[in-house]
Amino acid sequence: MPGGTSAGMAAQSASQWGNYHVETLPLPPPEYVRVDPKAFFSNERTFIQWMHISVTMGSIALTLATLADSADVRTAGALLIAPSICFLLYGLLNFYRRRGALERGSSDALEDRMGPAVLTLFMIAVVSTNLALKLRRAWVVENPECDPDVDDECDLGDDR
């Protein structure tokens, strides 16, 4: 018989004409998963990486909020502080959730699809916002007679 049979895989039976009938066998209930001791260290390294990105983002936010000479950039820095704290708490929550799953021998909480995607989208938004603010400021420097914060008639090239 071509192919083997095991739980979760399709079992094939050949008829006399060579046609195959495929049936799906039910999966067994989840069992205790043997956890490699290195997985605990991997969990710690992952948490340290989340801490690293959070502290980096928080440092940039505090620098922008305190040292920037533009109100727009200070505001962008202040708005960046809260998400950096949220990402730190998210990393801590994942660390404890994964540690509990490893101690129980479960593989439920070991995968993280949402966190990196949200972090990436957020960082794209932050960089895009800061770029837009910088370009806006460069426009005002090149056209000193035109300040969009003061003059409503100022044309920035968009339809306001």
Secondary structure (DSSP) of 21-47:
EEEEPPPPPP-PPPPPTHHHHHHHHHH
- Which pLDDT score, from 0 to 100, does residue 91 have? 94
Residue 88 lies in a domain: yes
Q: Give pLDDT, residue 49.
A: 95
Rounded to two decimals, what is the model's pTM? 0.60
- The pLDDT, as a whole number, for residue 160 is 42
Looking at residue 5, its pLDDT comes to: 47
Q: Is residue 86 part of a domain?
A: yes
Q: Is residue 79 part of a domain?
A: yes
Q: Report pLDDT for 79.
A: 84
Instruction: Tell me, yes or no, whether 133 lies in a domain.
Output: no
Q: In this structure, what token pair is assigned to residue 7? A: 């739980």
d(CA 151, CA 145): 9
What's the confidence (pLDDT) of residue 137? 76
Residue 71 belongs to some domain of the structure: yes
25: in domain: no
- Say which residue the tokens 């056209």 belong to: 143
For each successive 10 residues of the chain (160 residues), what is the average pLDDT?
47 54 68 77 94 94 87 83 91 93 80 85 84 79 64 54
User: To which H or E segment does residue 77 belong?
Assistant: helix 71-104
Contact call for residues 137 and 70 (beta carbons, < 8 A): yes
Residue 29 has a pLDDT of 65
Q: What pLDDT, on the 0 to 100 scale, is given for residue 7?
A: 43
Which domain, by its residues, includes 58?
38-121
pLDDT attached to residue 151:
59
Per the structure, the count of domains in the chain is 1
pLDDT at 154: 61
